[in-house]
Each structure stands twice: as structure tokens, then as C-alpha cells.
Structure 1
């Protein structure tokens, strides 16, 4: 769907993007990640043709990105882009027709979305009379009403309570199942885990990580496990060449060990050693979350809780 090649963007003395390349597969949900100021918004604006790169190219379905593609893109910015004094129904009609819909098409689709999102009685309300979450619902409808092929969502859950955030999440998944490709920019790493097929991580204007979520998580596995056993009076010591003990938590009922298995050894080897000694209650591999990997890559250090808490 989208091929981003060697994008450079400079603002005076600040380089916002430095030779960034990545690919967004058709029909995927793609996470655009990075700390504040990393360059994410600059890239989104270039894709939307709000600004142009200083060098590099973007291809949309194999063709160089051009104004003809704007009608195939839906963009939900993090900042509100609605007219505060204008009635919501009238505003939706105006925005939908800017995307090429006829008045009749726009009216039918807006009413359909208003029913889906339980917004039927909002038609004559003004934006300034709505809460932040309600405004975000309106803006979401404006983003998708023209049935774009590519949907770019910048912090789409901003302002939502958990119930409405889940409604939007389900609509995002439904749009994706219907064939839409989605670029999803957020600081909510749990949403990335739930929704995204692939991600790119940008930090200080450079791409530092790129790939499918499952492949990235597998690459950061460290052969570390959590073992809980119900024999608190038995002390398990590390075994050289088999496993080391990273962390121990003991209670009156059980002991939980965080262990790191030695190279060329497996969890089966550890179990063969442990089963005759203790009564194992739970065994779980500790796989770093996208949050952990994000922190590690951005700060160049392993998060303190990577081993002790995240699974």
C-alpha cells in the first residue's frame, strides 16, 4: 500500500526526519511509534501532503504519491480540527463533500455512522457543546465517512473513557477487516500489542526498529522464565551451566523464581533438574512487551521491570 523511501525533512536547524524508510502492507494495521518530538507527526503530514519532504519518495499502491491520492486517505489528527460554532451535521456534510461524496451519499453515510456511534441526536449540536471524547467521536466519523483505503489515526483514543475507547477499537478492527489499511500512531503500547501487525519506531528523527510485532518480540526473548513452586521450605540454588537466578520472591505458601537459562540449554533441562526437588505450580516464559522494547530502544537500557514484572 505505502512505500516510504529515504525521507528527509529539515526545519531550520532541526532535522525532523533523517533518511527514514519503511513499508506499510496493504490490509495491515501499522504502528507508527516514537517518543514526543521523534518525527512521527512530520511523517504523517508528508503522507497527507500537508508538507513535502526535502528528499526521498513515497509510493501509494506502486505510484508516486500525488494529490490524486488525497481522496483515498482519511486522517484523524491528534489536535481537534472541527469548527466549534458550526452544527455537527452540517459540518459532517461539508467535510464529506470535500472528500468527493455527493450530498445524498454524505447524508446517508453520516446517518449510518451516527447510528453506529449512538450520535443520532447530535446533528444540530455545536462542537463547543461537546466533551473532548464526544468531539473525538465526531472527528472519527469525519475521518472514515468517505470509506478511505488508507486511514491514519494519530492518538485515536485521546479523551475516551474505557467504554468508548473499546467502541473505537472495535470499529478500527472492523474497518481493517473490510479492507482498509490503517496507520496507527499512539503512546498506548497496550493498544499496539492488541491491534498492530507491524510497527516502525522512530527516535530523534531516525528509524531504529521496523518489522512485524511477533518477529520483534521474538527477537527480544532472553530465555528467561518465571517459576513458582509450592515448597517454600526448599531453597533452590543456581546451577552453573544450566540456569542463573535473577530474582526471588518468597511467601509462606510458595516461592517465585525468575531464572535465566544458560545458552544451549532449554526449559526442559531445567524441569528435569527441578521436578525431583520442588512441586512446581506455575511456569511461564517472560517475553518483553512492546512497551519494554520501546523503553529499551529509546533509552538504550533494559527497563528495570523487564525481567521482574512484564510477561
Structure 2
């Protein structure tokens, strides 16, 4: 990844629909060759932001550039886009659907068929070529649409809620496909309300809540906003060692749980040992991206994310 080159850049994007401000001053920078996630609950402005970046809709105010183009539609031939609303012609065969999607991006149909057959074969789906789309499950159809999204070998792939409605196996396959594309130098930009996918895949993220960017930067940077968490179990119930742990330490079962003091682990260990704690177990956990999301966007946004994820699983 060349962090000095940006594949996508947005500066103070604002979008009104009537009197409603759907996006309120969004700025972000996507390094070329990276995997970049836009996180937020449904209705946060993720899809509207992606559509402005792609040039599908224009911002009310603000600027954006896509692969060096100030007019994003001029880059359409080197962009692959999977919208949240999936759609394939049910009577088409899998191979023809992939070739057709490539043709929409300027790829000759004959070349699209050849590349489509290679893609199906490389994913162990060679026997799907002649299957009509209407005979496929939702996960299978989405796989075909994803292959159609990359058949023209785009430099940038934009995926809007790509994991929505997929079972765990197909989610793993999609994650593998994303990693494979990035290993070949392609930039991936995707939106999601499932934090776990962003934590596993992304180098950088933007957290959007109520149309605003609450955070933009590296995943580690977001997690490092929170102190590490200590889990401590001792033989002694009380004693001088208790002064070594914060007053707001919580008792969870037989463990004490608290934030690692600012001095770090060494002074804590020294005080516990000298204070006669009788340490049975002590572990230090780094906060996850979910914890960082809650701290940055608030518990209400996190609950909305969880509700949306549960609804997608139920569907």
C-alpha cells in the first residue's frame, strides 16, 4: 500500500434531500491499495456518501476525487460497484450475467465471457456457468454479482453492505475475495454495520453517525483511544494491595476488572506483589473496535448497529 497516494478523497461533503441533511460535512481519505471501511448504523449516511463519491449523485456542497478524477463518473471504467440493492436478470446464466456486468464497464462481451469463466473456475464454481440466476440461492447469486463487479479488473472496488444477508460461510468467502483483490493492488472501500468485518479486514475506517464523521483514521488508532483492560484474580480478599487497583474496579465473578493504570503493568504488578495480593491470574486485554465504536459514536449508535445486524441475520 502506498499511503502517500489517495484512491478516494472527500472534503466536507454535504447532501440535502429537501430540508433533510443526510450527510453533514463528511471528509475522508482512502489510501491506494488499502481496505477501508465506513462504519455506522442504518440511516447514518453511508450509502449516500458512497453514491456521492462514485458520482451517482452530486453533493450539495463539498468536493471529492476518485482515482485522481474530480469528476468521478470519468473513472467508472476502472471502478467496480456492488450496491446494497442487489439485482441480476433471473433468466441470464451465471456466465452471461458476469459478462454483461463487465460490458457495462466497457469490457467487450467476448472477453467478459472468457474472464467470467476463469473467475468461476478459480473460485471452484466452473459448473455454475450455464446455471440460470433464478435457480441460485441468495448467497450464490451474490457471489455471481461480486464476480461481475470485478470481472473488468477495476482499480477500485466499492461495496455497499456486502455482508448483508450472507451466512457465515459466504461471509468468510467474501472476506477472502476482498483480501485476494487487495493483494493484487486493488483498493477496497466498503460500508458495513457489522464491526467485526471491519476489525478483521480494514487498515483505516471512518465512523459515521447521524451524517457526520465521528472518527477517521487507522483501526489501531481508534482502539488506542481506550486504555487496556486488566482481569485480575487473587488469593487474598483484602489487604494493602487493594490500593493498587482503581476505586471503580468491578467485581465480575472471582475477578477484578479495571482499566490499566496510566503507569502501565510494571508498577501495578509490583504493588500487587508487595501488598500480598497472591496473584492467581492476571491478563491484560486490548479493547476491541466495538468498544472503540461505543466510545466514539455512543451507545445508541452501537445499539442501532446491533439491531440492524440481528435483523439481517433473521432475514
- TM-score, normalisation: structure 2: 0.86
Structure 2 residue aligned with 1:228: 233
Mean Cα deviation higher: 195-204 or 285-294: 285-294
- Residues 54 and 73, structure 2, Cα contact 8 Å, conserved in 1: no
Q: Give distance in 1, aligned partners of 2:239 and 2:162.
A: 48
1:159 CA drift (Å): 3.1
Count of residue pairs brought into register by the alignment: 296
- Residues 88 and 126, structure 1, Cα contact 8 Å, conserved in 2: yes
Q: Give distance in 2, aligned partners of 1:237 and 1:299.
A: 37
Runs of 4+ in 1 over 6 A off after TM superposition: 301-304
Q: How does 1:1-311 map to 2 (within 5 A)?
A: 1-221=7-227, 223-229=228-234, 231=235, 234-235=237-238, 239-240=242-243, 243-250=246-253, 255-263=254-262, 265-276=263-274, 277-299=276-298
Structure 2 residue aligned with 1:307: none
- Residues 243 and 270, structure 1, Cα contact 8 Å, conserved in 2: no
Mean Cα deviation higher: 47-56 or 3-12: 47-56
- TM-score, normalisation: structure 1: 0.87
Indicate how the Cα distance of structure 1 residues 238 and 224 shifts in structure 2: closer, same or farther if over 3 A, else same.
Answer: farther
SS of residue paired to 1:284: strand
Indicate how the Cα distance of structure 1 residues 171 and 302 shifts in structure 2: closer, same or farther if over 3 A, else same.
Answer: closer
Indicate how the Cα distance of structure 1 residues 301 and 114 shifts in structure 2: closer, same or farther if over 3 A, else same.
Answer: closer
CA deviation string 1:63-109 (max 9, x = no partner): 31342201111111222121123222222222112212223321221
1:298 CA drift (Å): 3.0
Indicate how the Cα distance of structure 1 residues 237 and 245 shifts in structure 2: closer, same or farther if over 3 A, else same.
Answer: farther
User: Gaps spanning 5+ residues in structure 2: where?
Assistant: 1-6, 304-315
SS of residue paired to 1:86: coil
- Residues 292 and 303, structure 1, Cα contact 8 Å, conserved in 2: no
Q: Give distance in 2, aligned partners of 1:92 and 1:43.
A: 26
Q: Give distance in 1, aligned partners of 2:172 and 2:295.
A: 28
1:220 CA drift (Å): 2.1
CA deviation string 1:146-180 (max 9, x = no partner): 11111111222233332222122111111101101
- Choose between structure 1 and 2: higher helix proportion: 2
Q: Give distance in 1, aligned partners of 2:11 and 2:252.
A: 49
- Residues 76 and 156, structure 1, Cα contact 8 Å, conserved in 2: yes
- Residues 244 and 260, structure 1, Cα contact 8 Å, conserved in 2: no
1:228 CA drift (Å): 3.0
**What's the C-alpha RMSD, in Å, of the aligned pairs?**
2.4
1:301 CA drift (Å): 7.8
Q: Give distance in 1, aligned partners of 2:299 and 2:97.
A: 46
Q: Give distance in 2, aligned partners of 1:65 and 1:234.
A: 67
- Residues 117 and 129, structure 2, Cα contact 8 Å, conserved in 1: no
